[in-house]
Structure 1
Amino acid sequence: MKRIFSAVLIGLFVAAPAFAVNRDNVGCGLGSMMMQEKGGVVWEVMAATTNGTSGNQTFGISSGTLGCEKPANLAKREQLDRFVADNMDALAVDIAMGEGETLGALAELAEIDENLRGDFYAALQMNFDQIYPDGSVAGTQVVDQITGFLAQI
């Protein structure tokens, strides 16, 4: 029984390079970078296992490192979160008025088409109480509400 197992294992290592598969199979991450010069199923399994078990793939995707690309929506959400957190009071005033420089900058960051900005401003103004329910609302909650209205426009 040990001989059969040993023969199968040796066969996998010897035959692995013959089964070189597209590197896209394993995704990005530290494992992919460490095994990038290796070919074959065994190396791809090792790369995928390293990527998945060490948590580095998640870090790579969210940071845009380790051979991963940062998703555009995530990057946009981070920009919106940062902008709203830095401009909470001015944005509240502009949303209440339905116009203003801070609201225009928000629309620019959110990539609202010029032709739809009036509708966007009006929707936010009409729903001010949902966006800013009280003085202790967090910036991320404001962004959550605003992105909900973006989907309706």
Structure 2
Amino acid sequence: MKKLLTGLMVSLLLSGTAFAAGEARTNTGCGLGTVLWENKADDNVFFQALQATTNGSSGNQTFGISSGTSECKPPAKSAQNERLNQFVRANMDNLAKEIAMGKGETLDTFVEMLGVDPSQSDAFKAKLQANFTNIFTSDKVVMAEVIDNVVTVDKN
């Protein structure tokens, strides 16, 4: 077993010179391993293996992706969702009134932020209006529930 591991490590070290600079991030992604072995792994398969193993086994890569830390960038959809959350939080009262009416600027913006195709916008607003009580289930409903309820209504 030792001989196999030693042979593998030597093979990895020798073949590491074939990689061009900057490929470590492409090969291993982001996370703690990428931060720890940042400038050592570009030309070295062994350090890229360490990066990937550390990224994958320490559970930090997922956190890095969602938080934008450890050399990770959060997905564009994540930032878009945060803007939607902030918008709904700041406009809950207006959104409730306009969904009940089926029209309004706040509702137009909300529908646009959800990514509804403009040709389907009116039908979507009508669907929200028809399902108002399923979206705003109580006077204590919170932003996350409203968004989840809208998604549920849209799927039905």
TM-score normalised to structure 1 length: 0.78
Aligned counterpart, 2:97: 93
Could you say if the C-alpha distance between residues 15 and 74 of structure 1 is closer, same or farther in structure 2, counting changes exceeding 3 Å? Answer: same
2:30 partner SS: coil
Q: How does 1:2-151 map to 2 (within 5 A)?
A: 4=3, 8=7, 11-12=10-11, 14-18=13-17, 20=19, 22-23=23-24, 24-37=26-39, 38=41, 39-150=43-154
- C-alpha RMSD of matched pairs (Å): 2.8
- Counterparts of 1:136 and 1:95, CA distance in 2: 17
Identity, % of aligned positions: 40
Conservation of the 8 A alpha-carbon contact between 1:95 and 1:124: yes
Greater Cα shift, 143-152 or 73-82: 143-152
Q: CA deviation at 1:57?
A: 1.6
Structure 1 spans left out of the alignment, 5+ residues = none
Q: Report if aligned partners of 1:16, 1:41 keep a CA contact under 8 Å in 2.
A: yes
Using the alignment, how far apart are the partners of 2:115 and 2:5 within structure 1?
Answer: 59
Deviation at 1:59, TM superposition (A): 2.8
Describe the superposition over 1:15-65 as per-residue Cα deviations: whole angstroms up to 9, x where unpaired.
Answer: 352464953231112312332432333211210122233443223211334
Q: Which amino acid aligns with 2:136?
A: Y
Stretch of structure 1 that moved more, 143-152 or 25-34: 143-152
Q: Which runs of 4+ in 1 moved over 6 A?
A: none
Q: TM-score, normalised by structure 2?
A: 0.77
- Structure 1 residues 19 and 101, CA gap change in structure 2 (3 angstroms): same
